[in-house]
A and B are shown apart, each in its own frame.
Chain A
Amino acid sequence: MKNLKGIIHFILTIVFTTFTIIISSCNDKWLDIEPQDRVSEEAVWNTPSVADLFLNDIYGYLPPYRTTGWWSESWTDNCMNVQTWQGQAEIVRSGALSPSNTLFTIKRYDAVNDWTWDENFSYIRKCNVFIQKVRESEELTEEYKSVRIAEAKFLRAWFYMTTFKYFGGLPVIEEPLDIKTQGDAIFRERATAQETAAFISRDCQEAAESLPVEQPEWGRVTKGAALALKGYIELLAASPLSNPDNNKELWAKAAASYKQVMDLAKYQLTDYYHGLYIEDNNHNAEIILPYVIRYPLANEDQDTRFLEDLYGPAYAVIEPFGVINYSIVESAPTQDLVDAYRMKDGKTIAESPLYDPAHPYENREPRFYESIIYDGAPFRDGFIYTRKGDPYNAVDRSRSSWVTPTGYYIRKTYDERINGLLERPKGKKNLGDWPLIRYADVLLGYAEAQNEAVGPDASVLDAINKIRTRKDVSMPTIQDTYGSVSQEQMREIIRTERRIELAFEDKRYTDITRWKIGHKLQGFVRGVEPVKNPVTSEVTYEYFNVVPQTYNLTNDKNYRLPIPLGTMEKNPKLVQNPGY
């Protein structure tokens, strides 16, 4: 027994002693744990395939257009938010923005939020980091560096352009800011609008010089994309908002850049206007820069592109289910946009004898039918009626439901084979790539710039005519419609053409501000309530103001967004946009 006791003492003591010794010898090494969810600095910048992952991430911040009602198209005369509580549109329209009253910002995956100053600069930093690190890398090849740095420059230019179009002049930052080495130099002043645009244009130019016309991987930016973006930023810089003295050289620059894209002879308009946005037509020759839809490869929750359940008619006939709640309508076209569509003879509704106010939807141009769902329009397995008394889609003037408040729904960009809300929970989506830049942009941009620089020459007419005579649009040429036109007439034609061709592509707000045509929006957002006479079956149209407020975009300050107070307070060198 005595022995056993001794043994137990001994064992215990040994155990404890060993334990203590282990711990004493537990130096820092035992605590050196490798993180399991991250990658070290060296691992990233020495291997092309790993460095590429960094660039992949930046590509991921290209805007997944139109995922909810939060898009700038709703701030314009093209569309309006359906729900009253989605007050963003009214805030912009009524000129109620201020540094203390800025727009909702919603993170990526949820919406286009490209008006967010802070977010855009975080993407710009990513580009700057990539450019610097790749440039400094000793392992990466010159060939790799040349193309990928060019891609990063394009992306930097893209995010700068986005910020520029909302805010004007910006701090020009070409390297990753580093408080340790730069100290107070991290606080940058805003450059002027022209300086900023010149910087963006230079980035595009440098990118274009190194980028191939064709990239081996679909989705990567190309020379054409860089030149088209260059054209666009120059177009913004030449427009009245940034070019109050109407310096024609600025217009000429834009025209020249666009011309370069045209001269690549790589792009052309497709035959199908509507089909541009659906899966079957992906990779078509009109797309210069796509936002590549990630679904179905991506986890459905992360994907971005709900369309058919957010913009279609609220209710639609879908066999074999009958009438179903098809979409949670977030944005509806205005009467103003409907009126802007031409008649099939190429003339406006005011000019054309074909227009009959009693039957306003007859004899309109093909793009109208491709883009707008109106009272009596066919949709899927039935027709949509927004007329008074319809149990489903009757106009909701109180804007308290998800039914259209204007009498119209958006059709453009839909893949009508998708069952809207029915399939939303299952992640079924329109798998068409979203065109961030397409050839029609280039033609319209060229025509506008060239018309401003030298007037409506043959190349201007040719560019516009190409758009009007696309196979399934097939309208008469400008010459056939109007004969010869003046520069001013041409300007209006181009602007309207741009509005119609690019409707619902999130370009309208920028066009309104850069042209400073807020005064033309004076008036109310209008809608229509069709009323069917039960006796005669005649439908009459009662037009009404959807919101009681008029547009208030006449004040110059409203052409730029205010920089949020928080952002202003963090950088004392920032100067607020005038008027705020």
Chain B
Amino acid sequence: MQLTAFIHRRVGVRGILSKTLRVMQLTTVLLLGLCLQTAATGFSQTITFSGTEVPLEKVFSTIKQQTGYFVSYKASQVRNAKPVTIHGENMPLERFLNQALKNQQLDFTIEANTIFIKRKNETNPQATVQSLPGTLSPPPADITLSGRVTNTNDEPLEGVSVTVKGSQTGTTTNADGRFQLSVPSANNVELVFSFVGYQSKTVKAGSQTVFNIILEGADSNLSDVVIQAYGKSRKATLTSSISAIKGDKLVEAVPNIANKLTGRVTGILSYQTSGEAGLDETTIRIRGQNTIGNAAPLVIIDGVPGRMADVNSQDIEDISVLKDAAAAAPYGLAAANGVILITTKKGVKGRARLSYNGNYGFQNPVWLTKTLNSYQQALMQNEIYLNDHPNDTNVPWSDSELEEYRKVVEGDPAGNYDKYFNSNNLHDVIRHDYPVSNHNLSVRGGSENITYYASFGYFDQASMIPNENFKKYYGVVNLDADINKSLKVSLTVRTDRGRRVWPSFGDQITAQFGIYGRMYEIAPDDAIWYPNTPGYWARGRFDFNPVGRINTSGMSSDKADNTVYNIGLEQKLPLKGLSIKGIFNYQSINTFGEAWNTDPIYWDVDNTVQPAVYTQRLPTSKPSFAQNYSRANNITAQGFLTYDRTFGDHAVTALFVTEIRDLRSKNFYATKKNYSILIPTLDMGSSVQTDIGNGGSATQARQVGQVLKLDYRYSDKYMIGFSGRRDQHYYFAPGFRTGYFPAVSAGWRIGQEQFIKGKYSWLNELKMRASWGQSGNLAGEPFQYLSTYGIVNEIYRLGGQLGTGLYERSPANPFITWEKQKQTNIGIDLVLWNGLLSFSGDYFYQVRDNMLLNPDVTIPAEYGITLPQENAGKMSNRGFEFTAGSRHNFANGITFDVNANFSFARNKLLRIFENPATYKDPNRRRTDNQLGAQYGLVALGYFQSQAEIDASPVQNFGFYTIGDVKYADINKDGIVDATDEKKIGYPNFPECIFGLNLAASWKGFDISALIQGATLMSVNRPGAAGGGAPGNSNGNTQVEALDHWTPETPNAKFPRWSYLSITNNFRTSTLTMRNNTYIRLKGFNVGYSLPAGLLSKVKAESLRFYISGQNLFTWTAEYLNSDPESAAGGAYRFANQKSVSFGVSLTF
């Protein structure tokens, strides 16, 4: 009972297990030795067999096994054959066959390595003939029809049934998709090609004798080969939960593919928190949030961990999202958050095809926050001043000043544009219609023995911030070569280079104190540009005019070079189906950053004189310069032992992989100040000791793992799989380093059962799947098992020396280890009417145990230090996801393809550290609630009278009066304070994401759209002006602020405004929570492909023109005054981009 052993983690069992695995390793070695021996002897042509009443098919498989000869026969004939009784040792093949076919209506011939079984006494045999590639010898028949069947991706299809219409004659294709068949006469013969998951095709033979048939998938869910952990599988026989998407569905080029999966792939819940060029980040979660700690999925590129941004979207062949434990368990300790597998394009046999795909487009922000103009702000400031100082006439703006503001806002020519300004932060600074372009050139082809794919990609994205720009270059060479029949070599060199350039001010433009954040601080009455002197920009509040910063604060850049070298050798071993493979992967990441900081220039205005005098302010200080460099080298080595073989109806796949990883990184920086010469190199600048600085750090990481995968299929109807991994990781103490992550899965293709297949021809596929397994998650940080001291530099100056400091880190937790997750998954796959309708649904239930938590809430604040994390938490996460699709080709040439997907996940904290006060309070209790649930007060509106204030419980959040927010006394203790909080709104992460993909084509025209949305999510938007009253020095005020409490508007959106500190009004409450449900048209493409006839004149294969749009329309459930996706990332986030591009793709 190995299985139970995996489930129950007990020390004794673990010992046995590790022994078992060690034995397995040893076995591997022995096995290899054995193979060597076998290789020396080769196959024999004699058979040793002993059996009574053995079905003939079994006999054939024995022959196959022992001799390696392929036996070609027609199942229907053999099925009715008599069972065979033979006992013999080392019988010559022919004698054996004679004996086996004695008394049968069958005969045989041997051609090369193939044994053809045919009906006896057939003068014009309609027998099926099957042959290996390259050995198509003419069968004894009148006319031979032969050919090859592939799918649309040029991949050979094995097992396609080829029948002659109206007769019993037929065959199936071999592993290379080839078939051969003899018919009496080609006239009036129609061949029917059918294969599960594909649309059947009927071809008239006519005079044609060689057929190259391309079968189109009835539904991509079934026909595709799905990439899974350390291998691939046909979707039809898959037992685990994997969402897959073909690279060619991701038409638009994007710098980070992460942003393209949402709405296209089920199980992915995400939102894009920033649209900044080169920094566009997506919070991506597979099946939602299932842990408090690190919840990011693992990304595997061509078998090795990587980052999604490293791959050119145009080079992607497939993406698989491994969702359930059975799919992900081979990744062991990194798998619990799900795995995203990216496979790049490989070469295909055939002539070289040169493709170009390029587009050029324009972008704009999805939404720019609308703010008050200076006249509105001045009015508001007066109103608020009078609120605060009821009997004071000293309002900030006199009537004449208000009038001046009104004039400049309305563009009145009589306005004083030298003195009264109406700037509009974002709009005055950003660019519109800034370009984005993408070019990709690739060549793909191959001969019999060598295939190649090479591409070069270039991506260039400007930003709405002038002078900010992101460029990315990609290059890939994928080479696969058959050195001989049994040895394959694959070589990959993949490189990408990102270069981001931005104005030096602020580390990131997105950051609160970066340029984008600062734009919100320029109040409308503060000039950005001087209207009377075009091209002159003002100083801006505290010297932060973003225009000045953008143009004259110097430039920073980051260059990141990432190169991956991958070499793989695969050797088929003489035992059929057995092969070994070694992969060595080296990744080198170098990033180089520079920042040249100069003092900005701006213009001041003296508007006390007429005409106003504008003077330019020159830099008052010398520039400074900083450089940093970091270098990371990651080595991954994998060894594979694969056994993949079919014995009649039995198919077995076994895989054993060993993997080691070693990752190292180092970095350093150097800075220099006071440059007299305006040349940014470290040679220049000041040589004074205090103007120079440097520093650096280093890290190292290591991991060892062994993977075992076993799959068994019976006649493609019943599937069962086992997978598991043993992992060891440097994070933890010896003794807590080793983990085992097993999973089992099973599938039943009910649709293939005779009782359904025969009855309901419209039902192409009905499959039930179930899986259970365990996987891990690396959370926290390394070395928490050690008691160590941290170093802090330049902490204090004693005796004139600037000293380093040491501080006590959290005490050691020697027992710390990874998080474990158990996941159960039940799924169903359905294909009806040859793909007119397809459905795939999954229900999952995950329990994350050993979850790393800080126990700090359990100790008093006076403890003075945080405790180490403990594997103490537990949470569950359950949900369902489905995708439903429909596709059909109409006779008139119209095709359509619709796919809807829906993912829902809801988690629950089952056991966390929580202080008794909140635990005992059912309203504030975190345990048994969702992670990401938001807590706050329940707002009851505003106090409308003093009587109402007097009659209400005291509110303990500072001063309040009429017009201020009234909160509910939830715990009924007569006082409203923080203990009256309860769960409000939805969690801060969407629980539900859905997408609708629409595609249609007709006569060369194609159109597609992606509509994506998210719901069950709330954002906390505390105020109209960053948590304060409008028009104070926090800068801009959002337009909604106009809708505030006054005696005339008692139910407004915001409370009364005051310049006093009314902390009562800025608590997180139902008033500040906004429903963040949105639906947007995320992608829209229209294309036209020129007809082939026209193209053949220029020797082109295809030419398509297209227009592609992104984020074109957005609908939000509540008015947010911002982009809903970036709003979820927090204030001052860079809005997402909407773009329209024009492109062409051309293949020769």
Q: Which of A10, A171, A178 contacts B862 (CB 8 A)?
A: A171
Q: Which of A33, A59, A173 contacts B796 (CB 8 A)?
A: A59
B557-576 contact mask (Cβ, 8 Å, vs A): 1 or 0: 00000000000010101000
Tell me if B1059 and A399 are in contact (CB < 8 A).
yes
Does A278 have its Cβ within 8 Å of any Cβ on chain B? no
- Which of the segments B9-17, B698-706, B1045-1053 contacts the partner chain? B698-706
A382 neighbours in B (Cβ, 8 Å): none
Does A412 have its Cβ within 8 Å of any Cβ on chain B? no
| A562-580 interface with B by 8 A CB criterion | 565-567, 569-574
Q: Which of B793, B794, B800 has the most CB of A within 10 A?
A: B794
Tell me if A5 and B484 are in contact (CB < 8 A).
yes
Tell me if B864 and A24 are in contact (CB < 8 A).
no
Instruction: Answer whether A32 and B734 are a contact pair too, CB < 8 Å, given A9-B39, A54-B805, A54-B806.
Output: yes
Instruction: Answer whether A24 and B799 are a contact pair too, CB < 8 Å, given A17-B29, A294-B794, A398-B381.
Output: no
B25-68 contact mask (Cβ, 8 Å, vs A): 1 or 0: 11011001001100110000000000000000000000000000
Q: Which of A30, A57, A129, A571 contacts B704 (CB 8 A)?
A: A30
Q: Which of B622, B786, B802, B862 contacts A571 (CB 8 A)?
A: B862
Tell me if A425 and B860 are in contact (CB < 8 A).
no
Instruction: Answer whether A186 and B1063 are a contact pair too, CB < 8 Å, given A21-B29, A292-B797, A548-B388.
Output: no
Does B535 have its Cβ within 8 Å of any Cβ on chain A? no
Tell me if A28 and B796 are in contact (CB < 8 A).
no
Q: Which of A87, A123, A297, A548 contacts B1061 (CB 8 A)?
A: A87
| B1046-1082 interface with A by 8 A CB criterion | 1059-1061, 1063
Chain B's nearest CB lies how many Å from the CB of A317?
14
B597-617 contact mask (Cβ, 8 Å, vs A): 1 or 0: 101000000001000000001
B730 neighbours in A (Cβ, 8 Å): 31-33
Q: Which of A30, A44, A117, A398 contacts B385 (CB 8 A)?
A: A398
Q: Which of B539, B697, B1063 contacts A37 (CB 8 A)?
A: B697
Does A220 have its Cβ within 8 Å of any Cβ on chain B? yes
Closest partner residue, chain B, to A542 (CB atom): B394
Tell me if A297 and B802 are in contact (CB < 8 A).
yes
Complexed CA–CA distance, A278 and B792 (Å): 28
Q: Which of B484, B620, B796, B915 contacts A60 (CB 8 A)?
A: B796
- Which of the segments A96-104, A138-146, A441-449, A491-499 contacts the partner chain? A96-104
Q: How large is the interface on B (under 10, 10 to 19, 20 to 34, 35 or more residues)?
A: 35 or more
Complexed CA–CA distance, A35 and B801 (Å): 27
Tell me if A36 and B697 are in contact (CB < 8 A).
yes
| B782-802 interface with A by 8 A CB criterion | 782-783, 786-802
Does A325 have its Cβ within 8 Å of any Cβ on chain B? yes
Complexed CA–CA distance, A128 and B804 (Å): 20
B929-970 contact mask (Cβ, 8 Å, vs A): 1 or 0: 000000000000000000000000000111100000000000
Tell me if A87 and B388 are in contact (CB < 8 A).
no
Tell me if A125 and B865 are in contact (CB < 8 A).
yes
Tell me if A179 and B859 are in contact (CB < 8 A).
yes
Q: A188-B862, A217-B801, A218-B800 are in contact. List 6 more A-B contacts (CB 8 A).
A: A16-B32, A39-B806, A100-B978, A121-B862, A125-B808, A217-B800
A100 neighbours in B (Cβ, 8 Å): 956-957, 977-979
Tell me if B958 and A23 are in contact (CB < 8 A).
no
- Interface residues of A, CB < 8 Å — how many? 115
B1098 neighbours in A (Cβ, 8 Å): none
Tell me if B637 and A218 are in contact (CB < 8 A).
no
Nearest first, the 10 A-B pairs at minimum CB distance are A87-B1061, A125-B864, A217-B799, A57-B805, A96-B958, A571-B860, A100-B978, A569-B917, A60-B795, A398-B396
| B466-505 interface with A by 8 A CB criterion | 483-484, 486-487
Tell me if B1061 and A90 are in contact (CB < 8 A).
yes
Closest partner residue, chain B, to A57 (CB atom): B805
Does B1031 have its Cβ within 8 Å of any Cβ on chain A? yes
Does A406 have its Cβ within 8 Å of any Cβ on chain B? no
Tell me if A293 and B805 are in contact (CB < 8 A).
no
Q: Which of B29, B793, B798 contacts A59 (CB 8 A)?
A: B798
Chain A's nearest CB lies how many Å from the CB of B328?
22
Complexed CA–CA distance, A567 and B860 (Å): 7
B979 neighbours in A (Cβ, 8 Å): 100, 565
Closest partner residue, chain A, to B1058 (CB atom): A84
Q: Which of A97, A126, A398 contacts B1059 (CB 8 A)?
A: A398
A473-505 contact mask (Cβ, 8 Å, vs B): 1 or 0: 000000000000000000000000000000000
Complexed CA–CA distance, A33 and B1061 (Å): 53
Complexed CA–CA distance, A303 and B956 (Å): 37
Closest partner residue, chain B, to A219 (CB atom): B798
A378 neighbours in B (Cβ, 8 Å): none
Does B890 have its Cβ within 8 Å of any Cβ on chain A? no
- Which of the segments A197-205, A340-348, A354-362, A416-424 contacts the partner chain? A416-424
Tell me if A10 and B798 are in contact (CB < 8 A).
no
Does A15 have its Cβ within 8 Å of any Cβ on chain B? yes
Tell me if A218 and B802 are in contact (CB < 8 A).
no
Instruction: Answer whether A56 and B805 are a contact pair too, CB < 8 Å, given A23-B658, A565-B978.
Output: yes
Does A554 have its Cβ within 8 Å of any Cβ on chain B? no
Chain A's nearest CB lies how many Å from the CB of B185?
44
Tell me if A572 and B916 are in contact (CB < 8 A).
yes
Tell me if B861 and A38 are in contact (CB < 8 A).
no
Q: Which of B22, B863, B956 contacts A101 (CB 8 A)?
A: B956
Q: Which of B737, B857, B1063 contacts A96 (CB 8 A)?
A: B1063
Does A328 have its Cβ within 8 Å of any Cβ on chain B? yes
Tell me if A83 and B805 are in contact (CB < 8 A).
no
Instruction: Answer whether A122 and B865 are a contact pair too, CB < 8 Å, given A12-B569, A28-B728.
Output: yes
Chain A's nearest CB lies how many Å from the CB of B934?
17
Complexed CA–CA distance, A22 and B703 (Å): 13
Does A50 have its Cβ within 8 Å of any Cβ on chain B? yes
B858 neighbours in A (Cβ, 8 Å): 570
Does A124 have its Cβ within 8 Å of any Cβ on chain B? yes
Tell me if B36 and A219 are in contact (CB < 8 A).
no
Tell me if A26 and B704 are in contact (CB < 8 A).
yes
Tell me if A57 and B978 are in contact (CB < 8 A).
no
Tell me if B803 and A177 are in contact (CB < 8 A).
no
Complexed CA–CA distance, A543 and B1099 (Å): 90
Complexed CA–CA distance, A296 and B737 (Å): 46
Tell me if A87 and B1060 are in contact (CB < 8 A).
yes
A19 neighbours in B (Cβ, 8 Å): 582, 637, 639, 658
A156-186 contact mask (Cβ, 8 Å, vs B): 1 or 0: 0000000000000001010011110000001
Does B123 have its Cβ within 8 Å of any Cβ on chain A? no
Tell me if A28 and B1061 are in contact (CB < 8 A).
no
Complexed CA–CA distance, A255 and B40 (Å): 102
Does B807 have its Cβ within 8 Å of any Cβ on chain A? yes
Closest partner residue, chain A, to B30 (CB atom): A17
Does A515 have its Cβ within 8 Å of any Cβ on chain B? no
Q: Which of A12, A33, A91, A117 contacts B958 (CB 8 A)?
A: A91
Closest partner residue, chain A, to B731 (CB atom): A31
Complexed CA–CA distance, A220 and B796 (Å): 10
Tell me if B29 and A294 are in contact (CB < 8 A).
no
Does A393 have its Cβ within 8 Å of any Cβ on chain B? no
| A45-101 interface with B by 8 A CB criterion | 50, 52-54, 56-57, 59-60, 62, 83-85, 87-88, 90-91, 94, 96-101
Closest partner residue, chain A, to B954 (CB atom): A98
Does A549 have its Cβ within 8 Å of any Cβ on chain B? yes
Does B754 have its Cβ within 8 Å of any Cβ on chain A? no
A1-25 contact mask (Cβ, 8 Å, vs B): 1 or 0: 0000110111011011101111110
Does B809 have its Cβ within 8 Å of any Cβ on chain A? yes
23 residue pairs from A and B, CB less than 8 Å apart: A9-B36, A12-B569, A13-B35, A15-B569, A16-B641, A19-B658, A32-B734, A38-B789, A39-B790, A39-B791, A40-B788, A84-B1028, A85-B1033, A98-B958, A121-B863, A124-B862, A125-B864, A177-B864, A186-B859, A187-B860, A397-B396, A569-B915, A571-B860
A391 neighbours in B (Cβ, 8 Å): 608
Complexed CA–CA distance, A560 and B1028 (Å): 27
Does B542 have its Cβ within 8 Å of any Cβ on chain A? yes
Q: Which of B783, B795, B862, B957 has the most CB of A within 10 A?
A: B862
